[in-house]
Every structure is written in structure tokens, then in C-alpha cells.
Amino acid sequence: MTATREALNLIITGVGGQGNVLSSQILGQALVGKGYFVTIGETYGASQRGGSVMSHIRVSGRRQLSPLIPQGQADVVLGLEPVEALRVLTGYGYRETVVIVNTRPIYPVDVTSGDESYPEAKEIESALRNLSRELYLVPATEKAVEMGSPILGNMIMIGALLKLGILPLRDGEFTRTLERNFQGKRLEANLQALKTGAELIGRQGNPGAPETGR
């Protein structure tokens, strides 16, 4: 959480099946464990079937906030899919929004069918940059496939988010919660993914990007 605001609004967005709900839940558990009020509003159900999925994660030291972030008030957007990050930003972003986005598209059937087109990577990047204060591009799916499973992409993205130090979680506080949710090989893979995400952000050298907590 930033020093100047009493609440932090984070949106994790992607496509059904990317593991968005579980990652927001584990983040939330870690934050409640630290004494924060956390509210998570989730859109799923029908959205599991290839639709857009969005979790609103709201952190406050003062009180329980509502399950939906008001328009134009998302401080951080974690996009597991590029177009979905942009979709969220057009509604919930504002000048100060920090955006971290997985660069690998998942093409909607509306696009593969030829009815609509998916924007070029450059076009998406430029729009994301216009609508954010800081933008971080993370090749999470590519790395996850290298590591053995595309689903690890979500934990790589969480690793990147934690490394930026925007959330009031110190090193180890998230991993301890992770250890309560996973065991054995799955835990190991997720821990490795977190580390990979942190490294990917570390290497970006984005000017003005904070390396550690503020």
C-alpha cells in the first residue's frame, strides 16, 4: 500500500482458466493474516467458459470496503492477458494506475473466427502506456511453458507484482500463505514461478520503477 493512501485497489484480470481466482484468494489470505481488511469481488461462473474474468481486490487498514472498485479507481492492474488488461484499464484505470501485463494473448473465438481482429502487440502496448503511470511487460506464459505448465503464468505474475512492493507484504509473507494452500511438487513449482516473476521484473530496468517497498 502506498504511504499516501489508506486503501489499495488491485484488479487481477484474464481469461477463464488462467488461475485468477485462486491467486487473488491467496493474496487476500496473506493480507488478512497481516491485519488488513480485504474485500475480493469475483466474476466467474459462466465466465469460466472462455470469457473475461476479473477479481477486484481491495485492501484497507480502516474498514471493509465494497466488493466492486468504483470506475477510475484501480491503483494496480495485473493482466494475465493483454487485451483483458486494456479492457479493465478503459473502465477502472486512472493516471496513477500501475500495470503489469503478461504479453501472451489468448485469442477470443470472435477473433479466430475472423469476425473481429486482435490488436497488434505494439498497439496494445502503446494504449496501455497511455493509460498508466508505469507499465511492466512480463513474458509469463512463455516462461511458464518452459517451466512445464502454462498455468504457472499466474504465479509468475504474482511474483512480479510482489517484487514491485506495492502491496504491504514482505518477502516470505506470501510464500508462507502459499505453503498452506499447496504441497509437494505443486508447491515447489509455484515457489519457483514466484521467483521467476520477481527476476523478470528485476531485469526490466524501467526508469522510475520502484525495486523495493515504498
| Site of interaction with another protein (CB under 8 A) | 15, 17, 25, 28-29, 31-32, 37-52, 64-68, 70-73, 83-84, 86-87, 89-91, 93-95, 104, 106-114, 116-119, 123-124, 127, 130-131, 141, 145, 150
- Least Å distance between CB 67 and another protein? 4
Minimum CB distance to another protein smaller for 128 or for 202: 128
Minimum CB distance to another protein smaller for 83 or for 201: 83
Minimum CB distance to another protein smaller for 131 or for 200: 131
- Least Å distance between CB 142 and another protein? 10
Q: Are 87 and 19 in contact (CB under 8 A)?
A: no
Minimum CB distance to another protein smaller for 148 or for 202: 148
Q: Phi first, then psi: what are they for 170, rounded to 5°?
A: -90, 165
- Least Å distance between CB 195 and another protein? 22
